[in-house]
Chains A and B, each alone.
Chain A
């Protein structure tokens, strides 16, 4: 039961109806019941065992930490909580992958399937959310909750089991456990966001996927512009797929009166890679920064390192090297989190670290060049070039992420410069993946998507939905009804289509 399936929509409709009928104090209990039901329906009853173990462990450890003043005991409980949760994550997520590999044939094999039956969906997301709660209790940034059902609701919350966002207990508990009176505005805005998510996923991402799959799966047949096109298609697929999923998830929460943290803030409007990662999968970045990067910098090794290096390279460089080293660890963890294979570790790990470090090191040279060319640093041209740079670099990195191996990605990218030259963009191979009119539809939809992104970027502090809401009723209705019809008629779904699961669902 993916969140774009018919049955999930029915599940949500019935759930939302009951949610607003039951007494407000029972709403969160209903959410817990729905989350458990979602787990059982989407996977199997057995799958619930894993989150249950993590929830019980984290609950007990957090409670233990809050009740003792003994620092050693606190630390021990923190370690127990971390080890159990991370061990389960590694056991069910990484060991099967490394034991059985990732190839399609192996994935279909009995052993892998048997393992997959009990791998709970969203394991990374609930593990990270629950660990964040434990850390907050440990660092006294939040209080331990004595009600295990609260922790279970927070850990299992069904909409964000697909791809997050990773929530912070202290931020969400207020909105999650307080009763919500039906608000027409919240409900309609939530539905509008869900609809926009469906547009991104079914109209855009699935079409980009056709092109990307065609080229990535048989890159030997392509070269030049085709490869570039395939790489761009995957970047756009990944973005629209992930942000579409987030819009559906956050939209569901909004319709129920729950405010979830944003996970995207128009990342391709970024001028640097560093800024990109502050706008892409924001909750993961924040989590890693709060619970990995800063604690890492506070370790004895990293505290001493600048002093050790100071004499050899100077104070400023020593500080930089220390930060870069901590960042390297951080980015390696991010890469590993995506799956542990080298193409993940390099593509969305080490390569990102390299981009950020190079960007920072080359910043003065860049500034000089801008001055030399007499351009404005915050002018339209420089900003546009910055955005193009981000798109190109991320496209290269995501191509590695999408390829089966690092070598595959290098071979594929090497074909951009092959001697066979650049053929015209439209060829039979591509048309086999997508008909010409599908191309037209895709490009029109992309234009709409970009326009919405630009409008949102220019209207910080409000939403495009709110802007539409200020328009006259006929205009609003034309927009929303038009969008509904677009998704229903032009979306890739239903029998005959195999709408892929959300890419980040696998993480």
Chain B
């Protein structure tokens, strides 16, 4: 083999690799999570002040456009549905790949769920791993989340799983994601004009309940402590939050317990779940289902977290004012969603 052949071979393999990578991004299952992650990678480098990590309530509860309008803080969610708690640490690392966030807002709801179920829930594991760009951190995330070593290759090379979605090549919106970087107008937020009336079903909150604690599973506590240790060791600023949802007694105890563990490591815990009255949360108007807020709820949660951040952290917004028009657009998108929720509210009987 002469030099020419060697370099031809290398170039050929590089072209194939690039084409396969781009094809992988295109054929990945489309939807709001793909759009959100592709949107994250499209953000200018070091332009995001606050990054949210957590399950689906994150996108529903916090509107980056509104937060920017109210405080000048730029924020973005790295959230996915039923996001496994083990992935949070890796998503924090992923965030550092492009951004230097001044604060992470970590939603804790999934710590109250069964860890084994999360480990077996391959669809939601894939929502995380299959929406990350190819990188060493992605490989580490897969190794941490996928227990079946023999199957990991289908996660490393997710085109093996998604190649049957080749019809995506006919979709201009998906074609644009060939490098997994297409700006997201809503900055990853999820809006809804649906609402439920849930106040009648709420349990009476006994004053003692505010002190009630119910331990989460030992396995989940280990994951939480591992995350907290990692954050602390690396001096990563983080705020842990519990977003509002329909109140259940055991969840109440779980959230307080999580809060106590978080505080143990010197981190703040903002319990929006146990004290919804503090920020005027209305169970007859602000939830689209038992677990997720609608646009009204998003408005209240965003303003509440804005207040909390402004009161407890000093975020320097001067570093991230490069693409104001994007953020203005995100805010306008929120306003349109608000108007839609006001004018075209849809009552949902049950879920």
Contacts and interface: CB of A to CB of B under 8 A. Distances in A.
A362 interface: no
Interface in A472-496: 473, 477, 480-481, 484-485, 488-491, 493-496
Interface in A451-501: 473, 477, 480-481, 484-485, 488-491, 493-497
Nearest to B11: A477
Contacts of A182: 1
A184 interface: yes
B1 A488 contact: no
A495 B160 contact: yes
Contact of B16 (A473, A481, A489, A491): A481
Contact of B27 (A6, A484, A489, A491): A489
How many A residues are at the interface, by size bracket? 20 to 34
Interface string B1-43: 1100100110010011001100100010000000000000000
B160 A184 contact: no
Contacts of B160: 6, 493-495
B164 interface: yes
Contacts of B2: 184
Contacts of B1: 182-184
A463 to B, nearest CB: 19
Contacts of B15: 477, 481
Nearest to A477: B12
A184 B163 contact: no
Contacts of B163: 488-491, 493-494
Contacts of A490: 163, 166
Interface in A29-56: none
B118 to A, nearest CB: 20
Nearest to B27: A489
B20 A184 contact: no
A485 B19 contact: yes
Contact of A6 (B9, B23, B153, B167): B153
A495 B161 contact: yes
A496 B19 contact: no
A489 B15 CA distance: 16
A349 to B, nearest CB: 39
Contacts of A496: 161, 164
Given A489-B166, A494-B163, A495-B160, A484 B154 contact: no
B159 interface: yes
Contacts of B153: 6-7
B134 to A, nearest CB: 15
B23 A485 contact: yes
B9 A184 contact: yes
A207 to B, nearest CB: 12
A495 B5 contact: no
A394 B154 CA distance: 39
A488 B154 contact: no
Nearest to A486: B166
A485 B157 CA distance: 14
7 tightest A-B CB contacts, nearest first: A184-B1, A494-B160, A184-B5, A489-B166, A489-B163, A6-B153, A495-B161
Given A481-B19, A495-B154, 4 more contacts: A188-B9, A473-B8, A477-B15, A491-B163
Interface of B: 1-2, 5, 8-9, 12, 15-16, 19-20, 23, 27, 151, 153-154, 157, 159-161, 163-164, 166-167
20 contacts: A6-B157, A182-B1, A183-B1, A184-B1, A184-B9, A188-B9, A473-B8, A477-B12, A480-B12, A481-B12, A481-B15, A485-B19, A485-B20, A488-B20, A488-B163, A489-B23, A489-B159, A493-B163, A495-B151, A495-B160
